[in-house]
Chains A and B, each alone.
Chain A
Amino acid sequence: MKRTVDVNIPLGPIHPCFKEPARLKCEAKGERIVGAEVELGYMKKGIERIMKGRPWQEVMFLAERVCGICSVIHNMVFIEAMEQISGISVPPRAAYLRVIVNELDRMQSHLLANFSYCYTIEHETLGMYLLDLREQVMDQLERLTGARVTCAYIIPGGVRCDIPRNDAELLQASLDRIERDLRRYSGMFAEGPMIALRSRGVGILTQEAAQRAHVVGPTARASGITADCRLNHPTYRQLGFVPVSRTDCDNFARVMVRFDEVFQSIGLIRKCLQDLPAGVIRGGGVCKAGETRYSGEAPRGELTYFIKSDEFGRIVDIQIQTPSIMNIEACCHEMIIGADSIADVTSTFVSADPCIACTER
């Protein structure tokens, strides 16, 4: 509901703490925030409009560029939606490789999100440690797929390239190193008294409010909601996936959930490498006409594609519901309200891991 207040504090579009442009208009009473509005429009490229009428071969690359941070999951969800429409089955080895790449992507995204949070609360040392750790994950991603960011690894009916034995061993060794370092860094975050002062009890998002706004991903799992789309994914079910969750509802819980999920991802990748089935990595198939709704778990939460395709595999209608839409909305209309100072606004906003490129497309 629109109101008029006397103090209006705009943050953005260019702000040292925000990776991307967004305009936050905070209504304040003294320094206490009583309301906030977000105005977007700095990143609206119209990807969905470009996608319409194009064949899947082109849309695949466009889908990947909806978001550069979580590009693998956009690729995966789009391709799996097309597979669901066309009834294409995936060879087991390819399905496991998909999970490996997706979890590596999740690890780098979570590490980047936690880096941003540490950077925002001015704990630069820990931030730099995490950013350095992320480079090791990026190395593994590059070794496996051939590119650091937009790798287009997943194709209908399989994946683009296999994992050689040598790479698998290097990946194992790298995971051991990452786990050892991350255990130390997450301990630093969990036990740092100054970090706790800035994070615990700040930016409360109650479970009811989270449910109303359809909050997803680590933001929801920090508020006690155990929803996770990986539970519905056949490969993850084979791996015996169980989501992590916390009930603290604050910034601290959100960051810790991300740390926990990185450990969980390391475990999933290890399990995949251990049970990696032999066989082909491409089954082939033809994309057909149909309409579907398909969800996958992005690093930020549930990502849904609504796709309608024609008989030649062209996209007739598409809408992408990215997790950041729900998370930013809840962040600005629930979490920020009642923050004690403007400094808490930026840290709370960053703790929800906002991705404006996803939100506007």
Chain B
Amino acid sequence: MTLLQRIKNMVRARSIHVAYVDVGSCNGCDIEVLACLAPRYDIEQYGIFVHNNPREADVLLVIGAYTPGWEEKLAMVWEKIPDPKAAVAIGNCPISGCLFNRRGSFVDPPVKKHIPIAAEVPGCPPRPTEILQAILSVRDSVFANWEESHP
């Protein structure tokens, strides 16, 4: 590992910017992501900042079962995020559609079909600590040694 890579790893590990996008959920996962901001979970101690601005984000949290309104738009949001980037699916909805994936509904899960997903957090809804753990594990597995693994 070069010195430059080591410095980059160190800096990146303490600076994860998160944007979240709701593509048709029940709102339960949204508020669990919001609860991560609370002083009890204190995500800023890990160097994670929630901005909700795709252009300066590293991690995109995708919530919800992909409704028709998001066709093309989710891909547009994903393209706006600069490399290195990772998308994390929060809750059952983006993974399988949960109970919205029935005959007659408008949703089109899984979100994996539309953008690449790096990690999935099942649960309806998952606990804030689980969401936090997923973001931290993505940090270690995707962002570490990014330049060396993507020449």
Chain A hits for B64, CB < 8 A? 43
Chain B hits for A138, CB < 8 A? 35
Chain A hits for B73, CB < 8 A? 13
From A20, A46, A128, A131, B22 is in contact (CB under 8 Å) with: A20
Contact B27 A16 (CB under 8 A): no
Q: Given A42-B23, A42-B67, A128-B38, check contact A47 B100 (CB 8 Å).
A: yes
Contact B31 A149 (CB under 8 A): yes
Contact A67 B65 (CB under 8 A): no
- What CA separation (Å) do A134 and B21 show in the bound complex? 23
Instruction: List 4 other contacts, CB 8 Å, given A42-B24, A66-B26, A69-B28.
Output: A46-B105, A49-B105, A135-B35, A357-B25
What is the predominant secondary structure among interface residues of chain B facing chain A? loop
Contact A21 B21 (CB under 8 A): yes
Interface residues of A (CB under 8 A from B): 13-16, 19-21, 40-47, 49-50, 52, 61-62, 65-69, 71, 112, 115, 128, 131-132, 134-135, 138, 148-150, 355-358
Closest to B100 in A: A45
Q: Nearest 6 pairs between A and B by C-beta?
A: A68-B28, A68-B27, A357-B27, A65-B26, A41-B69, A42-B69
- What CA separation (Å) do A304 and B96 show in the bound complex? 30
Contact A50 B26 (CB under 8 A): no
Contact A19 B102 (CB under 8 A): no
Closest to B41 in A: A135
Chain B hits for A45, CB < 8 A? 24, 65, 67, 100, 105-107
Most buried by A among B25, B51, B104, B127: B104
Contact A46 B106 (CB under 8 A): yes
Chain B hits for A15, CB < 8 A? 52
Q: Given A42-B67, A44-B67, A131-B34, check contact A69 B125 (CB 8 Å).
A: no
- What CA separation (Å) do A21 and B23 show in the bound complex? 8
Q: Given A68-B25, A357-B26, check contact A150 B104 (CB 8 Å).
A: no
Contact A50 B100 (CB under 8 A): yes
- What CA separation (Å) do A50 and B29 show in the bound complex? 21
Against A, the Cβ 8 Å flags (1 = close, 0 = not) of B8-34 are: 000000000001011111111111101
Closest to B124 in A: A150
Chain A hits for B150, CB < 8 A? none
Contact A131 B35 (CB under 8 A): yes
Contact A150 B125 (CB under 8 A): yes
Q: Does B151 contact A (CB under 8 A)?
A: no
Q: Does B99 contact A (CB under 8 A)?
A: yes
From A40, A41, A47, A128, B39 is in contact (CB under 8 Å) with: A128
Nearest Cβ on chain B to A97's Cβ, whole angstroms = 22
- What CA separation (Å) do A131 and B41 show in the bound complex? 11
Q: Given A21-B22, A44-B68, A46-B104, check contact A62 B52 (CB 8 Å).
A: no
Closest to A70 in B: B27
Against A, the Cβ 8 Å flags (1 = close, 0 = not) of B90-125 are: 000000001110111111000000000000000011
Contact A19 B24 (CB under 8 A): no
Contact A132 B40 (CB under 8 A): yes
Contact B69 A16 (CB under 8 A): no
Chain A hits for B46, CB < 8 A? none
Q: Does B77 contact A (CB under 8 A)?
A: yes
Q: Does B145 contact A (CB under 8 A)?
A: no
Chain B hits for A42, CB < 8 A? 22-24, 67, 69-70
Chain A hits for B52, CB < 8 A? 14-16
- What CA separation (Å) do A15 and B27 show in the bound complex? 16
Chain A hits for B68, CB < 8 A? 41, 44
Closest to B66 in A: A45
- What CA separation (Å) do A93 and B65 show in the bound complex? 38
From A40, A50, A112, B34 is in contact (CB under 8 Å) with: A112
Chain B hits for A52, CB < 8 A? 104
- What CA separation (Å) do A44 and B100 show in the bound complex? 11
Chain A hits for B31, CB < 8 A? 19, 68-69, 112, 149
Chain A hits for B100, CB < 8 A? 45-47, 50, 65
Q: Given A14-B77, A65-B99, A357-B26, check contact A44 B125 (CB 8 Å).
A: no
Contact B27 A67 (CB under 8 A): yes
Q: Given A49-B104, A50-B100, A132-B40, check contact A44 B21 (CB 8 Å).
A: no
